[in-house]
């Protein structure tokens, strides 16, 4: 039962974006298109899960005095692997993520979970924590990107498949979009509203007052 809890806590109860407020830079920077959010989210799931497993395996070997440099080396290696794989097999996502991809190395969620969880817990729980937190981050990022792109540009950008170019244009909104949502100011505004909503939901589910 506790294993399932480790997996699901990152999705809502300890959601890294809306509850713990970690990884704000890529959240605000990449959430301009849904495809970017999914690409970034998938990359974070992979890096977070692999680094959590690796760090958990080595937690009794890594000396306390050099644990942060060790964590950074491990995380940076997995980010480099993701970069190479995306560049080789999904170049469009690699191009779209640009500078945010190498910046996963310093994403607070990755180092935060390594320090707070993987360095102190077993391999299975650490892997589940990585998957759960990664999924929570991906869902949050995708939700923000969906709202920003839908109302800010009147489109939903997914991945091109066959004759489908990957862009769904929404009639009515695309002619007169709320442009501010595509800008950084709009992202912060939306983030604030969503944070307030999740805070209210969280308080409500605990039987408290929002």
The answer to whether 166 contacts another protein (rule: CB under 8 A) is no
Applying CB under 8 A, which of residues 4, 21, 81, 189 lies at the interface with another protein? 81
The answer to whether 70 contacts another protein (rule: CB under 8 A) is yes
Q: 93-110 burial, b if ≥16 CB within 10 A, otherwise e?
A: bbebbeebbebbbebebb
Of residues 167 through 196, those in contact with another protein by CB under 8 A are 182
Distance CA 146, CA 158 (A): 10
Q: How many residues in the shown chain lie near another protein by CB under 8 A?
A: 31
Q: How far is the CB of 16 from another protein (least distance, A)?
A: 20
Q: Please state, as a whole number, how many other Cβ atoms lie within 10 Å of the Cβ of residue 156.
A: 17
Applying CB under 8 A, which of residues 91, 174, 200, 206 lies at the interface with another protein? 91
Distance CA 31, CA 74 (A): 26
The answer to whether 30 contacts another protein (rule: CB under 8 A) is yes
47: Cβ contacts below 8 Å, ≥ 6 apart: 75, 78, 79, 82, 104, 110
The answer to whether 32 contacts another protein (rule: CB under 8 A) is yes
Provide the 8-state DSSP code for 175: S
Give the footprint of another protein on this chain (CB under 8 A).
Answer: 29-30, 32, 36, 58, 61-63, 65-66, 69-70, 73-74, 76-77, 80-81, 84-85, 87-89, 91, 95-100, 182
């Amino acid at each position: 039962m506790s294993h399932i809890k480790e997996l699901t806590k990152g999705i809502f109860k300890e959601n890294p974006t809306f509850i713990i407020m970690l990884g704000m830079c890529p959240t605000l920077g990449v959430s301009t298109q849904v495809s970017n959010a999914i690409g970034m989210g998938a990359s974070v799931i992979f890096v977070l899960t692999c680094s959590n497993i690796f760090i958990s395996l080595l937690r009794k070997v890594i000396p306390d005095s050099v644990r942060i440099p060790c964590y950074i080396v491990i995380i940076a290696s997995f980010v480099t692997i993701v970069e190479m794989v995306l560049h080789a097999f999904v170049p469009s996502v690699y191009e779209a993520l640009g500078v945010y991809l190498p910046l996963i190395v310093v994403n607070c969620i990755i180092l935060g979970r390594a320090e707070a969880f993987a360095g102190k817990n077993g391999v299975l729980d650490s892997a589940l924590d990585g998957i759960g937190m990664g999924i929570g981050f991906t869902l949050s990022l995708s939700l923000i990107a969906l709202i920003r792109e839908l109302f800010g540009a009147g489109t939903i950008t997914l991945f091109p498949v066959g004759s489908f170019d990957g862009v769904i244009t929404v009639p009515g909104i695309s002619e007169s979009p709320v442009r501010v949502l595509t800008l950084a100011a709009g992202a912060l505004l939306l983030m604030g509203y969503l944070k307030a909503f999740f805070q209210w939901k969280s308080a409500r589910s605990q039987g408290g007052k929002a």
